[in-house]
Each structure stands twice: as structure tokens, then as C-alpha cells.
A and B are shown apart, each in its own frame.
Chain A
Amino acid sequence: MDNSLLYNWQSLLAVGIIILGLGVYAIVFFRNLVKIFLGLEVFSKGIALIFLAAGSANGKLALAQSFVVTYIVIEAVLATVALSLIVHTYQNYGTLDIRKLSKLKG
């Protein structure tokens, strides 16, 4: 690992922020609900990297690990509920396009 250029926490912080940017792009610019949630998953991966980079920087990697493990558990519950909501929305309205969904009334 000594000859690796990116094996330090500064590089991983930068990589985490880049992944956050990718997730924000998907959340903001896509219309499909599944794609928006996929952007949220990408966002959460960046958050995990940033947490671990910060934990490595402060010398508290165990605490950062416990936070990220908690976050992954919550992410799984979030994914289950959000995807069930998406399926429910498709069964009721027949579309996943957020523009068409926002035009629906009643």
C-alpha cells in the first residue's frame, strides 16, 4: 500500500465528495423515481467514505465504523420502504415520471 497514490485520507475525502456530487446530479436531474433513489444510494456511499476518511484523520476509526454500520442498517430500511412506496405509486398511477405525477390531481 505504500506505493499507492490515493492511500491517504485526504484522497478518500476528495473521492467521497466527488461521489456525493454524482448522487446530487442523479437526484436533481433525473425524472424517474427509481433513478432518483439510485442517486440517493450513490450519495450514501459517498457519505460512508467521508465518514471513514474523517475517522482515520482523527484516529477514531472504530467510532466512525460504528456510525457507518448504523447508517447502513438505516439505509437498508430506507431502501425497503422507499422501493415499496415506488412500487405502490406505480400500481396506483401507472407511471414513475415525477413530472407526470406532479400533474396528477385528486
Chain B
Amino acid sequence: MIFDFLVISLIIMLTVAILSRSLLPAAIFLAFSSIVASVIFFLMQAMWVGIFEITIVAGLITVLFISAISLTKDLKEEVESDTPLYLFWPVFISFVFFVIWGVSSLAMPEGSFAHLGPDTFKQVLWGERKADIIGQIAIILVGIFGIAAFFRKPLHQASEASGPGDNASPTTPTTSEEE
């Protein structure tokens, strides 16, 4: 019963986050939905995914979202979509029924989460997928260098911002022409 409530509240929270006209409530509802999703993952016995979801997605990405929204000063700006809202609900409800019909009509074996397999997460991650860890580290470094490249100052702005004490340096064009 708790699991059903969590799954339905996850869908409702994500729908509210999508349909919210303001950006800040949308980001906060996304964070709440991440918390609910992590509880669902815990109940599915996927505890490592739950831990990563609640720390990275609900924590880090929410902070990034809110800081990006506040930096762009769009906190009170309303977001418009191309389709009107009354078109969303019929399409969404028919899509939900279509998905339920499609999944239930697939000839798949019965089963809840009984067959979890003999492997543990640690064996898989550090044994079979050790090379992927190096790839993850490379991706994190790419992200760091990418942000450093986006926000670096141009050279002329950096020399202007260095202060009046550095005016006598030979790199500034005015002083070199006067001499």
C-alpha cells in the first residue's frame, strides 16, 4: 500500500514540476520527487541507487538548479508552453492507458522482485566494470574543464581587472605607446 502511494505521488510530483508556470517551484518539486524515487529504489532493494539518487539528484542537482534560476533572474518569470493546458490532460491520460495496455499485453514472465540474482553490487561495480570507473573519472574531469572554459575571463578583461598598480606593465598598449 505504501509502495502504491509512493509511485502515484512520484507521478503527481513530476507532473506538477512539468506543468508549474514558475521555475522555482518546479525545481523544488523535482527535488521532492527525487526523494520519493529514492525511497522507491530502497523498497525495490536497489539501495545503492537510492543513496546516489538522494545525495546527487535531490541534493547537488537541486542546488545547481536553484542557483542557475537565481543567476538568470527568472524567478518570477512565467514559463509558457506551446500547447494549451486543456490539451495536456486528454493526451496524458490516453498515453497512460496506452502504456498500461501495452505493458500488460506484452508476453512477459510473472514475477515481482523475487529473482535478484547472486551477484552483489560491489562485485559487479569493482569486478566486472572496473574500467568504467576510469571512464567516470574522465567524465568528471571533462565537466570541470568544460566549466572552467565557459567561465574564463578574456585576456583583455583580465589585464583591466588587475588594478592600477599594474599599469606600467609592458602588456598594456597605452603605456607602451606613450613610452
> Which positions in A face B, CB cutoff 8 Å?
1, 3-15, 17-19, 21-23, 25-26, 29-32, 34-35, 38-39, 41-42, 45, 48-49, 52, 55-66, 68-70, 72-81, 83-88, 90, 96
| Alpha-carbon distance A85/B176, docked complex (angstroms) | 37
B72 x A81 contact (CB < 8 A): no
B111 x A9 contact (CB < 8 A): yes
Would you list which residues of chain B between 25 and 83 have a CB under 8 Å from chain A? 26-27, 30, 33-34, 37, 40-41, 43-46, 48-49, 52-53, 56-57, 60-61, 64-65, 67-69, 71-74, 77, 79-83
A69 x B48 contact (CB < 8 A): yes
Q: Which residues of B contact A85 (CB under 8 A)?
A: 150
Interface residue tally for chain B (C-beta within 8 Å): 83
Q: Which residues of A contact B46 (CB under 8 A)?
A: 52, 55, 61, 64-65, 68
Q: Which residues of B contact A88 (CB under 8 A)?
A: 150-151
CB distance from A56 to the nearest CB of B (A): 5
CB distance from A101 to the nearest CB of B (A): 13
Query: In this assembly, does B132 line the interface, its C-beta being within 8 Å of a C-beta of chain A?
Result: yes
CB distance from B44 to the nearest CB of A (A): 6
B143 x A80 contact (CB < 8 A): yes
Given the known interface contacts A15-B11, A29-B82, A34-B65, the answer about A77 and B142 at a Cβ–Cβ threshold of 8 Å is: yes
| Alpha-carbon distance A92/B43, docked complex (angstroms) | 46
